């Protein structure tokens, strides 16, 4: 049996390939430089013990990756709101620990502060109870509070936007990020407001 399932991606073509009793992810890049950057970072993170998908093959402009399933951080987040959960900090601390390792490893390798930049919740997967990062092609030099601000902006603006539950969640998230990253909450909130404005502008353009 062979089956190809297209997965959500704005920048590339990503598919789940099912063959007999196994499956893998094929990520085909529109830009070869993006593939090289993602491959370099995936290998670097794997060598340093971070949870990322295994790269099993490289084919033209495609990476063949371990299939970690469908439970993205966004799926988890939406479910937590659906059940009106207040017991969610465990995953947030796991996410912070993962990010702290990412910042330490990449910054040492590139000799400058590196951030993920594209911290959309779809770019993290929860697999066997652990947080995995899966998308690194937009990684760049930057400030940690930029990633933190973007994370919290996304948290508030997924549909339905700005609910009471999301506002409470986000207040706790900001405090955890500030504590774990040793960054002032006011810096995170400033970056959050900046990103919320950018999200609104992007959505206006997409609606036209």
> What ranges do the domains of the chain cover?
2-66, 73-207
Does 73-207 match 2-66 at the fold level? no
Question: What is the secondary structure of 170-186 as a DSSP string?
Answer: HHHHHHHHHHHHT--HH
* Tokens 């400033």 belong to residue: 190
> Can you tell me the mean pLDDT for 73-93?
98
As a whole-number percent, the residues of the chain with pLDDT over 70 amount to 100
User: Global pTM?
Assistant: 0.94
Residue 202 pLDDT: 87
* Cα–Cα distance, 116 to 57 (Å, whole number): 23
For the chain, give the mean pLDDT: 96
**Peptide bond just before 160 cis, omega within 30 deg:** yes
Give the pLDDT score at 20: 86
Domain 73-207 sits in CATH at: 1.10.510
The pLDDT, as a whole number, for residue 159 is 95
**CATH code reported for the domain at 2-66:** 3.30.200.20
Confidence (pLDDT) at 203:
84
Cβ atoms within 10 Å of 171's Cβ, excluding its own = 12
Interhelix angle 164-181/185-207, nearest 10 degrees:
130
Task: Give the pLDDT confidence of 101-120 residue by residue, as tens digits.
Answer: 999 999 999 999 999 999 99
For 41, 160, 163, the CA distances from 178, given in Å and listed in that order, are: 25, 25, 22
Q: What is the pLDDT of residue 205?
A: 80
Q: Cα separations (Å) of 28 from 114, 138, 147, 183, 193? A: 24, 15, 25, 36, 33
pLDDT value, residue 1:
80
Close Cβ partners of 33 (under 8 Å, ≥ 6 residues apart): none
CB 26 within 8 A of CB 6: no
């Amino acid at each position: 049996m062979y089956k190809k399932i297209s997965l959500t991606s704005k920048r590339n073509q990503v598919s789940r390939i099912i063959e007999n009793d196994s499956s893998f992810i094929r990520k085909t890049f529109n830009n070869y430089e993006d593939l090289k950057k993602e491959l370099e970072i995936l290998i670097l993170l794997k060598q340093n013990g971070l949870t990322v998908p295994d790269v099993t093959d490289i084919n033209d402009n495609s990476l063949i990756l371990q299939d970690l399933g469908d439970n993205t951080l966004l799926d988890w987040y939406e479910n937590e709101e659906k059940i009106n959960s207040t017991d969610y900090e465990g995953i947030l601390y796991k996410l912070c620990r993962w990010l702290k390792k990412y910042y330490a490893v990449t910054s040492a390798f590139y000799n400058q502060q590196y951030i993920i930049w594209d911290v959309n919740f779809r770019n993290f997967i929860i697999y066997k109870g652990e947080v995995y990062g899966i998308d690194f092609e937009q990684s760049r030099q930057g400030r940690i509070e930029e990633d933190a601000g973007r994370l919290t902006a996304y948290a508030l603006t997924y549909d339905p936007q700005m609910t009471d539950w999301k506002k409470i969640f986000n207040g706790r998230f900001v405090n955890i990020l500030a504590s774990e990253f040793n960054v002032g909450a006011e810096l995170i909130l400033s970056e959050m407001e900046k990103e919320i404005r950018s999200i609104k502008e992007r959505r206006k353009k997409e609606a036209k």
